[in-house]
Structure 1
């Protein structure tokens, strides 16, 4: 039997299992079958007392206790995870003893347990998830809570008709606000997935990699897999990257949690020795201290060994995947660039924007990829005198974006008032049909913003009137990318208002923005910069640990493509110029 901590996983040898959740309060146990997109295929994928059976899962009343019986051989191929859920609709988990979840094999032997502690105002939570990984079924301790109760949890996973509470809410204890409780170690007051923080507030939480959150629809996040069954080869590879990142995040959280638990238990035992006057000078004191340290070292050693095993598996998987990734998602040193050609009809699934590492496993380098089409602006931080490095990263990303789009389907505008257009010159030899003349004066910047704003207005009005065909021949159908250097230099109030409009409305109508700026300069705009900043994904021009994952809130070090990639970038840029 394995006693799991939050984030830890273990393999399942049995194909048929039972899961029980013990709570010292009236509770509802249920299950969700979800696809790789984190969503149910329909309301029938929700098993609970009112609908006790779905594909491979049965809700069972065993005396006073509810159980979930899962036959993994009967779970459909397009279902990736079975989520086991427990809810208290008449109170919060913080008001009752910590629930305990257990997994049993067909012989009745317990194969894993999870004590779900540290809960507060959550009224529903995912206890275990049983999931496929590399053709093998595993189970993971999750413990992610929802203060909005069961209805909020199942709705977040795509259930349309949420069940009525089985236990009526107490009039003396009103339901708390509808808020998802972040997992343990999550950054406080985190922004929505894909958003980033200024340097004066806690680190950003992304949903990785344009990477998948556990229960947020892909359409609501800039980073996430494309969907479930029937994905293209590129989408499947993107989905695998997402899963590797999720496994790495949860494994790291498990190591940290186990280490913290071992240290707290040792310290508690040590304190008990000192608090008891009879034990302070007892001949057994040294022996007791040694025993407390031994148990600590044993726990940490086991957690570390498990972590190294999991990391080794993920590194192997990444190494195998590296030879298959399409060029826009691969490193600049990948052989994929040797055979690269622009997509024929549709843009690539995503582009690589760097890699993510964590201190415990520097050998694990997870590609950070950004989902296309862009749904949120990117901000490259040029603070601390790193304007040159930030401009180089912007150039790299523009080249990747162009390489990921069919010829003629992405046009680039550059505003560079401080550098006099040097940033645009660095993108030569792109032809004028792809790269517009740089805006180097406030007047030229105003003209560029006017042109893009008018474009969004026209397409928006035509779409609302169901008359998009009237724009054929008068509005360029290609997506437009505006690269803004040294924001907000040269911006007046009208330009700022237009920019905000483009940030909010532009992505839906083919206009995206890439900022290259120092947030200290942007702070001169006052409160406005905060709202602008929170709508963007911030990238640092040098390695920095400002990226947080969406599951357990660990800070990951983001490393952009380095200067060593310059020859490869120049080579692809030249090939772009000859093909577009």
Structure 2
């Protein structure tokens, strides 16, 4: 049982290896301090923060993000440490909120390595505070406990650290904020599960692992793991992190690893369990089935020239799986090569400042031509370093652009953009694809390159199309009605794509539009006849749809738990169900809100999925009650916005929704084929 703590309450910890998860709904900085038996932090070397993320028995994230996972090993804590305080703070840069009272209540949870929650705490009652002590792990009579603290500080991180007795609090707080100012990540996007054989066949170096949607994340959102294990020593405090490998293919053979092996897609039959379970007595090298076809290989390259890219050159048991792995390989390659470029630019700038400081430290160089000459030489060296880094980045980008040019035309409809010609030869599929394209991701340094953003099917979490104001500057010129119209068009495009990639009669869509405000955008879905029924209107319509879907979830859960799944009613709709909700919370009473939360939490496991088009501010009156709902959904935007971060190095990526090109009739054509296939099946 999970202990839901309130402020001041404590709970015993029976495990030494723990993970502390932080969800804030907005980018926050996560840190931790170590205290002695009096609670005093003895120095900056007792603080784990983005600039120094690892201490003995403790590891925090290197970036600001909406979600964090901190690793704690209580057995590895020094004897002098009796307290561990988990801190969260709002960044000082990035244009985000400046006080916790303006955002959703932060949520923290202590979990074991298996993902099971030990204790959780929702930090309510914050107002003008910009930093808060969330939790305290403390040693009492040889045993460890966790206490919910929730102590906020209006003076920010500097005031918090000062209150903990740190003399250098102001300088350390400034250093922490500077460390995250360059790479502010709004939300950490989970990577896909990898295949059993790994990712791209051309990779050779070890890869960083990333968090999975369905399981525990690595220790720190950056994904830079210690090969000796998450709790092994990783250098002394203050040691700068090793920069990520540069260039396509560097440091990424396999992509992220899944927490749940069953989610990893097709895998070869096992030859025997690693520990426990039934034993397979077949010869380990005697195959009984034909091996999978090898991936395509590129023609030999001319001496001194990079190999010509080929679509599907990653490993996999089908062309679809190889393309899937190749896209995620391109995603990681772009993340790492850009990180290498940014790291080189930062090094050049810091070296320039150091050299100029050295020149100015000698009074004789402050006047006359000697000082000017030294400064010009330092500037020339900086320019040379930056130019070299840019040349390496441009070389890698050219290779990735060439790869994208051959991959995009080869994509199946589920992976392809709406402007891809593959849609003009579309036929209703016979099998469910591995994944679905929900948009594209790009970085400022690579305007020419967009990486498809794929999510696995069936959906493991719901989708939230945010119709509120986004962080992009151009959004200030878009009024409320226009944002909601764009959000509905985005939802229709995502819904149509889901209908198109599922076999006929294996995906059912329900619409809830209480006030009818989305009628114009929903017209293509309504006219085509692909919906389970007309959009539900008013409070009565909302209650009816939610009631039926809630009853369906209950029925399937009872059948599965009782082992009688075959005894479902003959007329039971076994298709995957999607509930699209517009204009939330209009038309929702307290009971309907509770049912919606229930569907978001329990529905995906039994084939009931949620897509919400909503502005979070419209539901602000519910307070922290809806925080778990927003956290359970993958936030997407109807306009370009840089709210997603990769799991490898934490860049803030610009997300662009997968929309139908203006004036194109491809969506209506596809929906007509889906409707015709359903009519034929019935």
4+ residue segments displaced more than 6 Å: 174-179, 185-192, 209-213, 221-225
Give the counterpart of 1:510 among 592, 607, 611: 607
Give the counterpart of 2:523 among 405, 418, 425: 425
Following superposition, the deviation at residue 291 of structure 1 comes to 1.8
Q: Indicate the residue corresponding to 1:205 in structure 2.
A: 188
Q: Indicate the residue corresponding to 1:367 in structure 2.
A: 452
Are 2:372 and 1:254 equivalent residues in the alignment? no
Structure 1's 309 and 460: CA in aligned 2 closer, same or farther, altered over 3 A? same
Determine the C-alpha separation between the residues in 1 that align with 2:533 and 2:651: 41
Following superposition, the deviation at residue 356 of structure 1 comes to 1.0
Are 2:443 and 1:358 equivalent residues in the alignment? yes
Determine the C-alpha separation between the residues in 1 that align with 2:612 and 2:375: 56
Larger displacement relative to structure 2 (506-515 or 530-539): 530-539
Following superposition, the deviation at residue 353 of structure 1 comes to 1.2
Following superposition, the deviation at residue 527 of structure 1 comes to 1.1
Give the counterpart of 1:553 among 647, 650, 657: 650
Structure 1's 278 and 251: CA in aligned 2 closer, same or farther, altered over 3 A? same
Determine the C-alpha separation between the residues in 2 that align with 1:243 and 1:392: 30
Give the counterpart of 1:570 among 651, 662, 668: 668
Q: Indicate the residue corresponding to 2:380 in structure 1.
A: 294
Determine the C-alpha separation between the residues in 1 that align with 2:515 and 2:488: 12
Q: Deviations over 1:179-200 (max 9, x none)?
A: 9xxxxx99999999xxxxxxx9
Determine the C-alpha separation between the residues in 2 that align with 1:457 and 1:519: 28
Structure 1's 425 and 205: CA in aligned 2 closer, same or farther, altered over 3 A? same
Determine the C-alpha separation between the residues in 2 that align with 1:546 and 1:295: 35
Unmatched 5+ stretches in structure 2:
1-43, 60-68, 88-92, 98-105, 110-129, 131-183, 200-207, 218-255, 269-315, 469-478
Following superposition, the deviation at residue 485 of structure 1 comes to 0.3
Structure 1's 238 and 441: CA in aligned 2 closer, same or farther, altered over 3 A? same
Aligned length: 425
Structure 1's 573 and 191: CA in aligned 2 closer, same or farther, altered over 3 A? farther
Q: Indicate the residue corresponding to 2:365 in structure 1.
A: 279
Following superposition, the deviation at residue 396 of structure 1 comes to 0.7
Determine the C-alpha separation between the residues in 2 that align with 1:523 and 1:209: 32
Q: Indicate the residue corresponding to 2:80 in structure 1.
A: 172
Determine the C-alpha separation between the residues in 2 that align with 1:517 and 1:218: 22
Following superposition, the deviation at residue 460 of structure 1 comes to 0.5
Residues 148 and 176, structure 1, Cα contact 8 Å, conserved in 2:
no
Q: Deviations over 1:87-108 (max 9, x none)?
A: xxxxxxx969xxxxxxxxxxxx
Equivalent positions of 1:41-120 (< 5 A) are 118-120=52-54
Residues 148 and 175, structure 1, Cα contact 8 Å, conserved in 2:
no
Determine the C-alpha separation between the residues in 2 that align with 1:530 and 1:246: 31
SS at match of 2:526: coil
Q: Indicate the residue corresponding to 2:490 in structure 1.
A: 393
Unmatched 5+ stretches in structure 1:
1-93, 97-115, 126-144, 153-164, 180-184, 193-199
Determine the C-alpha separation between the residues in 2 that align with 1:216 and 1:208: 7
Residues 418 and 659, structure 2, Cα contact 8 Å, conserved in 1:
no
SS at match of 1:321: helix
Following superposition, the deviation at residue 406 of structure 1 comes to 0.8
Give the counterpart of 1:379 among 460, 464, 479: 464
Give the counterpart of 2:598 among 501, 524, 540: 501
Following superposition, the deviation at residue 342 of structure 1 comes to 2.1
SS at match of 1:359: coil
Determine the C-alpha separation between the residues in 2 that align with 1:191 and 1:427: 40
Q: Indicate the residue corresponding to 2:422 in structure 1.
A: 336
Are 2:412 and 1:326 equivalent residues in the alignment? yes
Determine the C-alpha separation between the residues in 2 that align with 1:245 and 1:95: 35
Residues 185 and 645, structure 2, Cα contact 8 Å, conserved in 1:
no
Residues 147 and 176, structure 1, Cα contact 8 Å, conserved in 2:
no
Q: Deviations over 1:337-372 (max 9, x none)?
A: 13322221x311111111111111100111112221
Following superposition, the deviation at residue 394 of structure 1 comes to 0.8
Structure 1's 215 and 510: CA in aligned 2 closer, same or farther, altered over 3 A? same
Residues 210 and 369, structure 1, Cα contact 8 Å, conserved in 2:
no
Following superposition, the deviation at residue 466 of structure 1 comes to 0.7
Determine the C-alpha separation between the residues in 2 that align with 1:209 and 1:365: 18
Q: Deviations over 1:30-64 (max 9, x none)?
A: xxxxxxxxxxxxxxxxxxxxxxxxxxxxxxxxxxx
CA RMSD of aligned residues (A): 3.8
Residues 191 and 210, structure 2, Cα contact 8 Å, conserved in 1:
no
Q: Deviations over 1:454-509 (max 9, x none)?
A: 00001101111111111141421011100000111111110111011101000001
Residues 645 and 651, structure 2, Cα contact 8 Å, conserved in 1:
yes
Residues 348 and 386, structure 2, Cα contact 8 Å, conserved in 1:
yes
Q: Indicate the residue corresponding to 1:267 in structure 2.
A: 353
Residues 124 and 146, structure 1, Cα contact 8 Å, conserved in 2:
yes
Following superposition, the deviation at residue 443 of structure 1 comes to 0.5
Determine the C-alpha separation between the residues in 1 that align with 2:518 and 2:484: 14
Determine the C-alpha separation between the residues in 2 that align with 1:483 and 1:340: 24
TM-score by length of 1: 0.66
